[in-house]
Chain A
Amino acid sequence: MTSFFAILIDGAIYASWLFLVAAGLTIIYGVMRVLNMAHGSFYAIGAYSAASLVGWYFSGEHGNPYWSFLLLIGCALVSGAIVGVIIEKGLLRFLHGRDEILMVIVTYALLLILEDATKLIWGVDPYFAYQPYRLLGQTAVGGSLRFANYDLVLIAVSILVGLAAWFVLNRTNKGRLLRAVIHDREIAIAMGVNVNAMFAATFAIGSVLGALAGALTAPAISVTPGIGVEVIVLAFAVVVVGGLGSIGGAAAGAILVGLSRSFAVHVAPEFELFVIYGVMFLVLAIRPQGLFGQTLARRI
Chain B
Amino acid sequence: MQASPQFSRPSFRLSAIAAALALAGAVSTSALAADNGKYRIGIVTFLSGAAAGPFGVPAANAAKLAVEALNAGKLPAPYGKKGINGIEIETVIIDEAGGATKQTEEFRNLVQRQKVDAVIGYISSGDCIAIAPAVEELGVPTIFFDCGTSKVFETVKNPKFLFRTGLDAVVDNVAAARYIAETRPNVKSVASIQQNYAWGQDSWNDFILAFKQIKPEVKVVSEQWPKLGQGQYGAEISAISVSTPDLIHSSFWGGDMEALMLQGGARGLFDKSVAVLTAGETGVEHFKANVPNGTVIGGRGPFGAFAPKNALNDWFRPAFTAQFKEPPTYPAYKMVQAILGLKAAAEKTAKAGAMPTAENIVQGLAGLSFEAPSGTVIMSRSKGHQAVQSVSFGEYQFDAKSGKASVAKVKTYAGECLMPPDGSNAADWIKAGFPGAKCN
User: Which residues from chain A sit less than 8 Å from chain B, CB to CB?
Assistant: 2-3, 6-7, 9-11, 13-14, 17, 97-99, 102, 119, 124-126, 128, 130, 133-134, 138, 143-148, 150-151, 217, 220-227, 230, 261-262, 265-266, 269-270, 272-273
**Shortest CB distance A279–B (Å):** 15
Write the B193-226 contact mask toward A (1 if CB under 8 angstroms, else 0). Answer: 0001000000000000000000000000011111
Docked CA distance A126–B5 (Å) = 40
Write the B19-59 contact mask toward A (1 if CB under 8 angstroms, else 0). Answer: 00000000000000000000000000000111011101100
- Asked whether, in the complex, the Cβ of B242 is within 8 Å of the Cβ of A2, the reply is yes
User: Which residues from chain B sit less than 8 Å from chain A, CB to CB?
Assistant: 2-5, 48-50, 52-54, 56-57, 196, 222-227, 229-232, 234-236, 238-239, 241-242, 244, 254-256, 258-259, 262-263, 265-268, 272, 286, 288, 290, 326
- Asked whether, in the complex, the Cβ of B223 is within 8 Å of the Cβ of A225, the reply is no
Residues on B with beta carbons closer than 8 Å to the beta carbon of A147: 238, 267
The chain B residue with its CB closest to the CB of A145 is B241
Docked CA distance A144–B290 (Å) = 19
Which of these, B4, B57, B229, B326, contacts A124 with CB under 8 Å? Answer: B57
Which of these, B226, B255, B268, B288, contacts A224 with CB under 8 Å? Answer: B255
Which of these, B57, B223, B238, contacts A6 with CB under 8 Å? Answer: B238
Q: Known: A144-B244, A221-B262. Contact between A13 and B234, CB under 8 A?
A: yes
Docked CA distance A230–B230 (Å) = 7
Docked CA distance A220–B231 (Å) = 8
Residues on A with beta carbons closer than 8 Å to the beta carbon of B238: 6, 9-10, 145, 147, 265-266
- Asked whether, in the complex, the Cβ of A126 is within 8 Å of the Cβ of B53, the reply is yes
The chain B residue with its CB closest to the CB of A134 is B266
The chain A residue with its CB closest to the CB of B266 is A148
Q: Known: A124-B52, A133-B262. Contact between A269 and B225, CB under 8 A?
A: yes
Residues on B with beta carbons closer than 8 Å to the beta carbon of A10: 234-235, 238
Docked CA distance A102–B2 (Å) = 12
A-B contact pairs, 22 of them (CB 8 A): A14-B232, A126-B254, A128-B286, A128-B288, A130-B290, A133-B263, A133-B266, A147-B267, A151-B234, A220-B262, A220-B266, A221-B231, A222-B254, A222-B258, A225-B48, A225-B49, A225-B50, A226-B50, A265-B235, A265-B236, A266-B242, A270-B223
The A interface, classified by DSSP as helix, strand, loop or mixed, is: helix
**Shortest CB distance B184–A (Å):** 18
Residues on B with beta carbons closer than 8 Å to the beta carbon of A99: 2, 4-5
Q: Known: A119-B48, A262-B235. Contact between A272 and B226, CB under 8 A?
A: yes
Docked CA distance A220–B264 (Å) = 10
- Asked whether, in the complex, the Cβ of A146 is within 8 Å of the Cβ of B268, the reply is yes
Q: Known: A14-B234, A266-B239. Contact between A126 and B258, CB under 8 A?
A: yes
Residues on B with beta carbons closer than 8 Å to the beta carbon of A223: 255
Docked CA distance A273–B297 (Å) = 27
Q: Known: A221-B259, A225-B53, A266-B235. Contact between A145 and B224, CB under 8 A?
A: no
Residues on B with beta carbons closer than 8 Å to the beta carbon of A146: 241, 267-268
Residues on A with beta carbons closer than 8 Å to the beta carbon of B290: 130
Most-contacted residue by chain A among B235, B236, B241 (CB, 10 A): B235
Docked CA distance A9–B242 (Å) = 13
Docked CA distance A222–B196 (Å) = 19
Docked CA distance A232–B125 (Å) = 27
- Asked whether, in the complex, the Cβ of A138 is within 8 Å of the Cβ of B53, the reply is no
Residues on B with beta carbons closer than 8 Å to the beta carbon of A222: 254-256, 258-259, 262, 286
Which of these, B225, B255, B268, contacts A126 with CB under 8 Å? Answer: B255
The chain B residue with its CB closest to the CB of A147 is B267
Residues on A with beta carbons closer than 8 Å to the beta carbon of B256: 222
Residues on B with beta carbons closer than 8 Å to the beta carbon of A143: 242, 244
The chain A residue with its CB closest to the CB of B1 is A300
Docked CA distance A267–B290 (Å) = 29
- Asked whether, in the complex, the Cβ of B239 is within 8 Å of the Cβ of A269, the reply is yes
The chain B residue with its CB closest to the CB of A115 is B48
Residues on A with beta carbons closer than 8 Å to the beta carbon of B52: 124, 225
Docked CA distance A77–B290 (Å) = 28
Most-contacted residue by chain B among A3, A6, A102, A269 (CB, 10 A): A269
Residues on B with beta carbons closer than 8 Å to the beta carbon of A266: 235, 238-239, 242
**Shortest CB distance A66–B (Å):** 16
Docked CA distance A144–B226 (Å) = 22
**Shortest CB distance A1–B (Å):** 10
The chain B residue with its CB closest to the CB of A47 is B231
The chain B residue with its CB closest to the CB of A18 is B232
**Shortest CB distance B102–A (Å):** 16
**Shortest CB distance A14–B (Å):** 6
**Shortest CB distance B2–A (Å):** 6
- Asked whether, in the complex, the Cβ of A220 is within 8 Å of the Cβ of B50, the reply is no
- Asked whether, in the complex, the Cβ of A224 is within 8 Å of the Cβ of B254, the reply is yes
Residues on B with beta carbons closer than 8 Å to the beta carbon of A227: 229, 231, 255
Residues on A with beta carbons closer than 8 Å to the beta carbon of B196: 272-273
Residues on A with beta carbons closer than 8 Å to the beta carbon of B53: 124-126, 224-225
Docked CA distance A98–B121 (Å) = 45
Residues on B with beta carbons closer than 8 Å to the beta carbon of A134: 265-266
Which of these, A7, A119, A125, A270, contacts B225 with CB under 8 Å? Answer: A270
- Asked whether, in the complex, the Cβ of A144 is within 8 Å of the Cβ of B2, the reply is no
Residues on A with beta carbons closer than 8 Å to the beta carbon of B230: 230
- Asked whether, in the complex, the Cβ of B225 is within 8 Å of the Cβ of A272, the reply is yes
Most-contacted residue by chain A among B234, B242, B259, B272 (CB, 10 A): B234
Most-contacted residue by chain B among A11, A98, A125 (CB, 10 A): A125
- Asked whether, in the complex, the Cβ of B255 is within 8 Å of the Cβ of A221, the reply is yes
The chain B residue with its CB closest to the CB of A12 is B234
Residues on B with beta carbons closer than 8 Å to the beta carbon of A221: 231-232, 255, 258-259, 262-263
The chain A residue with its CB closest to the CB of B5 is A102
Docked CA distance A269–B196 (Å) = 11
Docked CA distance A3–B364 (Å) = 60
Docked CA distance A145–B226 (Å) = 19
Residues on A with beta carbons closer than 8 Å to the beta carbon of B57: 124-125
**Shortest CB distance A118–B (Å):** 11
The chain B residue with its CB closest to the CB of A136 is B266
Docked CA distance A6–B259 (Å) = 20
Docked CA distance A13–B234 (Å) = 8
- Asked whether, in the complex, the Cβ of A6 is within 8 Å of the Cβ of B49, the reply is no
Docked CA distance A224–B229 (Å) = 10
Docked CA distance A125–B268 (Å) = 27
